[in-house]
Structure 1
Amino acid sequence: MAAFGRVSQMLLRSYLTQVRRQLSAAAAGGHGEKSAKTWKMLTFLVALPGVGVCMLNTFLKAQHHSHEQPEFVPYSHLRIRSKRFPWGDGNKTLFHNPHVNALPGGYESHE
């Protein structure tokens, strides 16, 4: 059994040495420069135009979006306040927007 362990360790060491040599030879052969050029081209030709198209789509959708206040429906499972928030009056969430976020009793008046 001990002989099997020694043989398996020797084979593992030789395999790892071979892999290290192959990896170091690939790195020395300029492989990194080629992949860096590929990723640079993908960034400028695919990623940045993709971000630009997404921004344009969002902008155009926002132009056609209605900015009216949605109707308040007092669902029992929404806006539950089991304890007060530790800021402000204790009833509004941290990022409360009076135009979009309703309180348990309804929307705040804007007048």
Structure 2
Amino acid sequence: MWQIWKKVNPRMGIQMATTMAKRHLAKAQDHNNSNMWKKLTFMVATPAICLCMVNAFVVPHKEVEPEPFVKYEHLRRRTKRFPWGDGNRSLFHNAKSNALPDGYEHQ
């Protein structure tokens, strides 16, 4: 198509050819960027996620004793009851590591 423009208006043909070359280069760069991110996903992110899963679920972790409970007025306030359970425990409450306003459940 640009060859026709080159015959009709030589300056317009050069501009059109330059524009088409820029578009082609931009498409090639987009393709290279997508390949780079695809490789990073499968070669870096996926193994990193697998290593984190192994660390979380397979590697044994030693039990850590909780710190002694000290009742501070500004911590563990319950101005309004939680809408689940007995209203005193948070949604992701862990009896071994999270204290209630009165102290730990298991000591």
| TM superposition score normalised by structure 2 | 0.55
Q: CA deviation at 1:80?
A: 0.9
Structure number with higher relative contact order (C-alpha < 8 Å, ≥ 6 residues apart): 1
Measured after TM superposition, the shift of residue 55 of structure 1 is 4.4
Work out the CA distance in 2 between the residues paired with 1:97 and 1:64: 16
Match of 1:39 in 2: 37
Determine the C-alpha separation between the residues in 1 that align with 2:53 and 2:86: 37
CA drift of 1:108 comes to 1.7
Residue 106 of structure 1, aligned match among 87, 100, 103: 103
Q: 1:63 to 1:86 in 2, by over 3 A?
A: same
Cα displacement (A) at 1:70: 3.5
**Which residue in 1 is equivalent to 2:63?**
66
Name structure 2 gaps, 5 residues minimum: 1-15
- Aligned equivalents of 2:51 and 2:84: distance in 1? 40
Distance in 2, matches of 1:92 and 1:99, equals: 13
Contact 2:96 2:106 in 1 (8 A): no
> Judging changes above 3 Å, is the alpha-carbon distance between structure 1 residues 40 and 84 closer, same or farther for their aligned structure 2 residues?
closer
1:78 aligns with 2:62: no
Change (3 A) 1:59 1:40: same
| Counterpart contact for 2:96–2:104, Cα < 8 Å | yes
TM-score by length of 1: 0.54
Equivalent residue for 2:7?
A: none
Distance 2:97 2:35 in 1: 47
Give the match for residue 3 of structure 1. Answer: none
Percentage of matched positions with identical amino acids: 47
